[in-house]
Amino acid sequence: MSDTPLRMNQKEPLVRISKQAELSDKKRMLLRLGSLLLALVAGGLFLLILGYNPLQIYATMVTGCFRSAMAIQATVKIIIPLLITSLGVTLAFKMRFWNIGAEGQVIMGAIFASYFALFCNTWPHWVLVPVMLIAGMVGGGIWGAIPAFFKVKFGTNETLFTLMLNYIALYLIILLRDGPWADPASPGFPKIARFVKNAQLDKVFGVHIGWIIALVLVVAVFIYLRYTKQGYEISVVGESQATAAYAGMKVQKIVLRTMVLSGAVAGIAGMVQATGSDMTLAEGVANGVGFTAIIVAWLAQLNPLGILLVSSLFGLMEKGSSVVESTFKLSADSSDVLQGIILFFVLAAEFFIRYRFTFRKQRKGGNEA
């Protein structure tokens, strides 16, 4: 018996998500501005419920980042690892390789760099710093190459694979901290020794030179993606691997090369954070930056220059929230909720720029289709 009548009687979903028609630049801008205003209103209502003046809170969030030279330096230190890591995941995402493992790649970059900071710290400073930088790239690159290899050889799911590697990297720090790298001067509290000054990054304008490295990487990644043959290959593979293969591109090689590079850039973030900010290898060296970088990269539409802007805004929001916590005695949880509300509306705008809700149409006479 034919199942055609059954199909005809089946109802369409009440709501479907469909691709949005291309919006003009003006409409996209208005949608983003509208989402920001709604975010501020929703956040303001949340603050009113808690008994705070929203205008005071928002003003403090903005001014708190610039109230002193020390505050500005602290804000820049927050932005640096986020900016570098976002550039790293952008390389993979441009290829449609869902690298959710930047957190682990940051950690591995920090571990590799920390080896030289701990055990080769008598080397000349001008030799040690470049070696630590290269070591960080190698550590992150290896951690990026592992899921890429299994993806091209065995077709494994890169999302789960890269996610699981994050936890392996994290527990590797704990293993080193409690074992071979434990600080002998701190027997009662397991930690890794603080790096000597020779193994710390130099400062320029009161901030470690990681900010210079980050700006150089913004330019380098922009040029690499926009003007090089390898960058063009990444875009083609991201659009269609079949098309890339038909054009004679070696897809497996491109995937491996790009993921090594993606992990290497994230590894630089780990090296910079360990040797520039933390001055040691700590369990929280990544501090969730690998996951936040995913949001930053997509909000910036995988544009390195846009990533510079978005990561700066994220850094300002995080620093401003910490100032609000101390000034108004606002709990850290409430501050996180406020950030989440703002981020939710911003992400919603990006969703509606690309997609729309389609509701079930009604037949003539009032019958549902």
The residue with tokens 């509306």 is: 345
The average pLDDT across 11-17 equals 72
Q: Give φ, ψ of 216 to 5 degrees.
A: -60, -40
Does the pLDDT value for residue 16 go beyond 80? no
The string of pLDDT tens digits covering residues 173-208 is 999 999 999 998 887 788 999 999 999 999 999 999
How is the chain split among helix, strand and coil, in percent rounded to 5? 70, 5, 25
Determine how many CB atoms are found less than 10 A away from the CB of residue 256.
Answer: 18
The string of pLDDT tens digits covering residues 287-341 is 999 999 999 998 898 999 999 999 999 999 899 888 988 888 888 788 788 888 8
- Give, in order, the Cα–Cα distances in Å from 310 to each of 254, 293, 306, 315: 28, 10, 6, 9
As to burial, measured by CB atoms within 10 angstroms (0-12 exposed, 13-18 middle, 19+ buried), residue 168 is middle
| CB 321 within 8 Å of CB 338 | yes
321 vs 11, higher pLDDT: 321
Under the banding of pLDDT at 50, 70 and 90, the label for residue 7 is: low
Under the banding of pLDDT at 50, 70 and 90, the label for residue 269 is: very high
Calpha distance 306→278 (Å, rounded): 27
Q: Where are the domains of the chain?
A: 80-311
The residue count for the chain: 369
Q: Give φ, ψ of 208 to 5 degrees.
A: -60, 155
Say what the pLDDT of residue 186 is. Answer: 83
The residue with tokens 């930690």 is: 191
Q: What is the DSSP letter of 277?
A: I
pTM of the model: 0.89
Reported in sequence order, the residue ranges of 131-290 that DSSP labels E, i.e. its strands, are 203-204, 207-208
318 contact partners, CB below 8 Å, separation of at least 6: 78, 339
